Amino acid sequence: MFSKILIANRGEIACRVIGTAKRMGIKTVAVYSDADARAPHVRMADESVRLGPAPASESYLKAELIIDACKATGAEAVHPGYGFLSERTSFAEALKAAGIAFIGPPPNAIAAMGDKIESKKLARDAGVNVVPGYLGDIATTDEAVRIAADIGFPVMMKASAGGGGKGMRLAYSEQDVREGFEATKREGLASFGDDRVFIEKFIESPRHIEIQVLGDQHGNIVYLGERECSIQRRHQKVVEEAPSPFVTPEMRKAMGEQAVALARAVGYFSAGTVELIVSGADPTGKSFYFLEMNTRLQVEHPVTEEVTGLDLVEQMIRVAAGEKLGFTQDEVRLDGWSVETRVYAEDPYRGFLPSTGRLVRYQPPPTCRHPREGGGPSSEASFAHGGKELDPRLRGNDASARENDEVRTRVDDGVFEGGEVSMFYDPMIAKLITWGLTREAAIDAQVEALDGFDIQGIGHNVDFLSALMQHPRFRSGNITTGFIAEEYPEGFTGAPTDEALTADLSAIAALIASVHERRASLIDGLLNGPVSVNEDHIVRLDGGAEHRVHFELDKVVVDGAEPQVLDADYEPGQRLVRARIGNRQRTVLVAKDGRSWKMTTRGATHRVTVMTPLVAELARHMIEKVPPDLSKFLIAPMPGLLTRLDVNVGDKVEAGQPVAVVEAMKMENILRAEKSATVKSTPVSAGESLSVDQVIVEFE
């Protein structure tokens, strides 16, 4: 076994690997860029080495710097995490040449699967189902149009070396191909250094399902069940779960055996994932096709860990050290259900635009065990030292292994309060993983835990994730990769709110107001005399809902209904309020907003105003302030680089016409005109850096 390993990554995955290594008694070396000098993974590791400036191309993507760091610290092996150098054949080969172990698959397997075109040919030859398409090089847009027409619309254009949702465009027509082909090439070149594009048939009503495989260097390969990854936005996964609500045991076996056959065909060992596109319209489950193989640890690996009891990072380390797998395919059992949501630095209320800046406040929800405290799944230990002792869950559904553990919550993160979410790297803040005996229990645990996040300083998608978890269609399991586009065609405005929730929010808001009134009543020498503490309040929520709240000792009466016990602890300045009203538990994030309060819970933020009955009556006569009209401006929705400006002063534009392209986090964002107008001025030019809300074009 290794005595010291280097983690060639950053953020939550670096913390995740360090946690497992520490539990195994292995010393760790962190690497960092200037932007990450104070990052958690640097503080967690036994040693750390600076790589270079913030841009990844000058730090995390420089293989020679990683190798130099290994030599300087005596690290015997490198775990690459995901992204960066994790799937670079040249990196694995360079480590091998330097006598440093690569905690991952062999270079030939990375090379074979890293090229999406060649990997599909290999999959086909190995007897794996493949999607109909064109796997050759496509040189021009005209050629792409002809090929797409031959395959039949809709088609998907993909960068050959792409991944992580980048370098992908869906085309329903010739015009879509003409608009998207060159952009796909540019994204592939910018993100992966390869501008080759291939085209394949787009499977309608598709589900994205992937098989986790694990192999050793002695020829043993197993599959560890599947993950459902169909909830995506712009081809970027948002929610993952294991197992899939769509997959039957027969499907699981067929998919798993094909995945193992592909892995065996390329001499694969370590952890890897075979991604499949599955037709949700085919109830037989036979319409599944190979998409790609990711020759690394996946972002969503925790859900597999939670249902199998395996620590995949530990298994990767043991395999790289030459150990055999300590179990066979027949011993793998799936226990319960696990769901993962990705908390991103993006604003769902503004079209999911990226958000960067300082985490003024970052408090994740309470967890049963944090990966920084030991890594891996939330069980005591996946395997004893040597990999021979099986976790009790792998022997079957052993009740003694569960005791009263009906739900578990886990947070994988790599950020800290006061730290910065940089424009240089992925916008992920954290991954929230829950486990339950049933799918419904795991989803309910997600909703509860999401309410417990307190994030300030940047935009985030916690409300959106909570709305997804509560959505009836998601809970039914009837999902496809088009779920978000279909269910939120006009964008996200918050989760729907029922009357019970607004009534409970009113009771909590009135309680908060009473606490502040009591504190104010203790102040001496007020000009208008002591402040009175009211037993009655009128609570008005945005949207027009209004409730009368009356307190009777420890009980609350809302709109004259039956009194209910209200149990809540609140002190002025407190942001998270946990309250029990009757038999309902509520966790609410509260923040002062002028004379009102912002209250966030269950996937929506509500502006709540608490008044005495007299003030409420007088407020009805107040004139409402109308916000200014900004429709005559095209405003930068995010910080980024203006790569293209398609209009000049005097040009006439129509609603929906592309006006500018802004690049942020290596993704191109096309900004379109909201209405027909004439360009009055263009204060900025292509090539300039933009700040959020900066005016790009003014219309007459």
575 and 500 in contact (C-beta within 8 Å)?
A: no
Q: What angle do CA 120, 122, 125 make, to 5 degrees?
A: 110
Closest CA to 413 of 364, 448, 458: 364
Between helix 249-265 and helix 116-125 the angle, nearest 10°, is: 110
DSSP 435: E
448 is catalytic: no
Q: How many CB atoms lie within 10 A of CB 653?
A: 21
DSSP 58: G
Among candidate residues 12, 87, 228, 292, the one labeled active-site is 292
Beta bridge partners of 274: 211, 293
Closest CA to 494 of 342, 356, 651, 603: 603
669 and 661 in contact (C-beta within 8 Å)?
A: yes
Q: What angle do CA 658, 232, 266 make, to 5 degrees?
A: 110
What is the rounded CA–CA span in Å between residue 35 and residue 32? 8
Pairing mode of beta strands 428-436, 658-664: unpaired
Q: How many CB atoms lie within 10 A of CB 493?
A: 12
What residue has token string 């503490």? 533
Length of the chain counted residue by residue: 700
Beta strands in 247-358 (DSSP E): 270-279, 288-294, 337-344, 346-347, 353-354, 357-358
Q: How far is CA 400 from the centre of its chain?
A: 33
DSSP 298: -
Q: Which residues touch 213 (CB under 8 Å, ≥6 apart)?
A: 221, 222, 223, 224, 259, 260, 263, 268, 271, 272, 273, 274
Beta strands in 542-647 (DSSP E): 546-552, 555-558, 564-568, 576-581, 584-593, 596-601, 604-611, 633-635, 640-645
Q: Dig out the tokens for 530 from the structure.
A: 């002591």
Q: Show which residues are catalytic.
A: 292
